[in-house]
Amino acid sequence: MMLRSWLLSLSLAGNWDGTPPAPTVHVSIDSSRHELTVTSGPYNLPNMPPMEDHAMMDLGMSHDTPLQRFAWPVEGWFRGFRVELVDGQGRPVPPHVMHHMVMVNFSRRQLLYSAAERLMGTGTETEEVSVPKTIGVPMKPGMQLGMYVAWHNDTGRDLDGVHLKLVMLWTPKNQNPQPVNALPIYMDVNLTVGGQNTYDVPPGKSTRAYEFTLPVGGRLLGVGGHMHDYGTRVWLEDVQSGKVLTQVTAERDAEGKLVKVSRKLFGVSGDGLRLKPNRRYRVVGEYDNPTGEMRPMGAMASMVGLFVPDDMRRWPSIDPRDPIYRRDLASLEVRGASSSMSGNAQGSDAEGGPPSHGLHSSEAGDAPGEEDGSVSQPHSGHDSHE
């Protein structure tokens, strides 16, 4: 493709003094295929030792990139994506080298949290993810997006001049009938916006919960979840009745380590799972830790999904003066500030920031095709590891 060769020629040129050029982001539109291609790079990724478990991501065992900003250029509905990686010679790079990637939408707030929307995220798998054309995330030209990537190159050799090509699919505004607005929703049992969402796991069975109300009712089309080792399930319940509305469960190996978290679809064309405005809901994460020892900051638990609001006009708007919102922005600004340093405090600090959700490509070990790409494959509630 022309775009790729153009970018490659740029990256191969490097800088006159021999230092690698700073990564840039480039956006191109294919309006006949309704695809937006976001190309980012070059990234020079020295080989690193393999990670024993995903908690190591929290210890800075990755290369976090700074946020790369661009404006969404078209009117329509975002409905899916795919990712490709190539090195400086144009050779394909194994997909798992991109540990995770998160897309932030600075032009819209999250439903529960005073924090910027996490439009999409992806883990180490890069299969195409998309939802049916009957639904989509509403997007306007000029929406301010920013993406960041955590790299972990354990291929055994240094990778230079790596470029990431993210193809974002959209449905044009003249589609008839118009897609239903479906937006990412993120429910974490222990989030401090702009801070951490990890917490300690005591021995044996334990739960942690977060209560919330929604400013606008709507329906959940599907949910997924994110947990760490020894997690068992995340559920959503109605506080007043105590009724469990939905849950995702962890598949664990013989030692209780996480294999994957299940997902649930309520039917894209059906009614979904109804949530009412101003009613108390509780998201609960459960762990069962057989090691007999406390696992400090070993847990995360969240449920993510796609939510169809009854009235888009009642979606909460951004309050730029809100200190919580500002903390979220600040945590995104420092991301990758000392990138390519392993073990830096910055990396671990920024790690628990509010998480990615929305359209996600994978939870650890998601069976490909399990849901036939029919709805969001919500994945980690946060932006670190797996």
Contact positions vs Cu ion (CB under 5 A): 300
- Closer residue to Cu ion, CB minimum distance, 119 or 300: 300
Q: Which is nearer to Cu ion, 284 or 300 (CB)?
A: 300
Residue nearest to Cu ion (CB): 300
Strands 159-172, 35-45: pairing is antiparallel
Nearer to Cu ion, 88 or 121 (CB): 121
Q: What one-character-per-residue DSSP string does 369-386 give?
A: TTTTT-S-----SSSS--
Residues 145 and 104: beta-carbon distance below 8 Å? yes
- Nearest distance, CB of residue 383 and Cu ion, angstroms: 9
Nearest of 244, 241, 248 to residue 222 by alpha carbon: 248
Can you name the residues that pair with 166 across neighbouring β-strands? 38, 83
CB of 290 to Cu ion, least distance (A): 20
- Smallest distance from the beta carbon of 70 to Cu ion, in angstroms? 27
Please, what sign has the CA dihedral across residues 321, 324, 326, 329?
Answer: negative
Judge contact between 355 and 302, C-beta under 8 A. yes
CB nearer to Cu ion: give 153 or 198.
Answer: 198
Place of tokens 């295929």: 33
Question: In terms of CB distance, is 77 or 230 closer to Cu ion?
Answer: 230
DSSP for residue 97: G
Rounded distance between C-alpha atoms, residue 223 and residue 247, angstroms:
8
Of residues 55 and 166, the one with the C-beta less far from Cu ion: 55
What value, to the nearest 5°, has the Cα angle with vertex 53 and ends 340 and 43?
25
Q: Smaller CB distance to Cu ion: residue 112 or 275? A: 112
> Tokens in use for 1?
């493709």
What's the one-letter identity of residue 107? S
Smallest distance, Cu ion to C-beta of residue 302, A: 8
Q: What minimum distance in Å lies between the beta carbon of 334 and Cu ion?
A: 19
Residue 198 CB, nearest distance to Cu ion (Å)? 7
Nearer to Cu ion among residue 179 and residue 225 (C-beta): 225
Question: Cβ–Cβ contacts within 10 Å for residue 359, how many?
Answer: 31
Q: Is the Cβ of residue 61 or residue 300 nearer to Cu ion in the bound state?
A: 300
Q: CA 283, CA 222: separation in Å to the nearest integer? A: 15
Q: Closest approach of Cβ 384 to Cu ion, in Å?
A: 5
Q: How far is the C-alpha of 315 from the C-alpha of 185, rounded, in Å?
A: 12
Rounded distance between C-alpha atoms, residue 119 and residue 75, angstroms: 16
Rounded to a whole number of angstroms, the minimum distance from the CB of residue 151 to Cu ion is 17
Q: How far is the CB of 22 from Cu ion (least distance, A)?
A: 29
In the three-class reduction of DSSP (H, G, I as helix; E, B as strand; rest coil), residue 292 is classed as: coil
146 CB-near residues (< 8 Å, 6+ apart):
67, 68, 69, 70, 103, 104, 106, 332
CB of 78 to Cu ion, least distance (A): 24
By CB atoms closer than 10 A (0-12, 13-18, 19+), residue 207 is middle
Structure tokens of 78?
């975002």
Task: Give me the amino acid identity at 372.
Answer: D
Nearer to Cu ion, 121 or 218 (CB): 121
- Alpha-carbon Rg for the chain in angstroms: 20
